[in-house]
Amino acid sequence: MNAPLQQQDPRFVKSTFSAIASRYDLANHLLSGGLDFLWRFRVARLGARHGPKRILDLATGSGDLAIALKKACPDASVTAADFCLPMLAQARRKGVPALVQADALALPFADGSFDLVTVAFGLRNMADWQAAVLEMRRVLADGGQLIVLDFSLPENPVFLPIYRYYLHHVLPGIAGALTRSREAYRYLGESIESFPSGLNMNALIRSCGFQCEPPRAMTFGIVSVYCGMATGRGSIPKADPDGAGRQNEVR
């Protein structure tokens, strides 16, 4: 079994987000040029397609996706969960109602409790991606929808090196000055480099008991959306105790 990388350590992730919580939104909106609203809006619209009544937004952070989901699905109950209290405090300040402090790898919800589970920019930060998606499958009803939004690397060979330069050399400086935590944004670049995207991500999601739609790349491929439908419970593999789904072995 490979030793977990530093970025997989939940204590590191929790303390990193605790440190930047109060400036997280500002950094997000400035560094994405406001595009992050558009990305979450797209997820909320995709989520609304099947008329979900019970929605769970995992790793909700400051709650922007939970807010977009409530707007897109006004009749649904939206539960917003995260394991980092300072991030949840930001969400509470913005009026997100049903907040739960919970670890995505051990959710305090019964099997089949939700029709839609979303996770935006959260899965990449988790200690074991496969175990996390299996836990999302567990709390989804059969036929329920999973939507994952996260960063990906552009496939265009001209744009990729420019983006990498921005990610590793420009962004940590600007975001570090904004949040006073350059380390958090160095970690961001590293985590994006090691996170599966496109068909690799679909393969991971499928291995956890989902039928996948083709990945949707947005903004020149710097983010992607993955949609899966939960198939019958008989097809769900057990979580791998040897950690075969860990991030450094997925690709």
Name which of residues 78 to 107 contact ligand SAM (CB under 6 A): 82-84, 87, 103-105
Which residue of this chain has its Cβ atom nearest to ligand SAM in the complex? 61
Give the chain's radius of gyration (CA, Å). Answer: 17
Q: How far is the CB of 234 from ligand SAM (least distance, A)?
A: 27
Taking CA atoms, 38 is separated from 101, 180, 223, 230, in Å, by 26, 26, 11, 26
Q: How far is the CB of 120 from ligand SAM (least distance, A)?
A: 4
Instruction: Figure out which of the listed residues 7, 8, 60, 247 binds ligand SAM, where binding follows CB under 6 A.
Output: 60
Q: Does 125 bind ligand SAM (CB under 6 A)?
A: yes
From the centroid of its chain, how far is CA 60? 8
Taking CA atoms, 246 is separated from 101, 176, 239, in Å, by 24, 28, 11
The Cα–Cα gap between 57 and 233 comes to 21
The Cα–Cα gap between 96 and 6 comes to 31
Name which of residues 126 to 165 contact ligand SAM (CB under 6 A): 126
Tokens encoding 31: 């560094």
Q: How far is the CB of 82 from ligand SAM (least distance, A)?
A: 4
> Which of these ranges, 58-66, 163-171, 176-184, 198-206, lies near ligand SAM under the rule CB under 6 A?
58-66
Total residues at the site for ligand SAM (CB under 6 A)? 20
Q: Does 48 bind ligand SAM (CB under 6 A)?
A: no
The Cα–Cα gap between 9 and 175 comes to 22
Name the 3-class secondary structure at 216.
strand
Q: How far is the CB of 240 from ligand SAM (least distance, A)?
A: 17
Tokens encoding 83: 């394991």
Which x/- pattern over 168-207 shows residues binding ligand SAM (rule: CB under 6 A)? ----------------------------------------
The Cα–Cα gap between 29 and 96 comes to 19
Site residues for ligand SAM per CB under 6 A: 10, 13, 17, 59-61, 64-65, 82-84, 87, 103-105, 120-122, 125-126
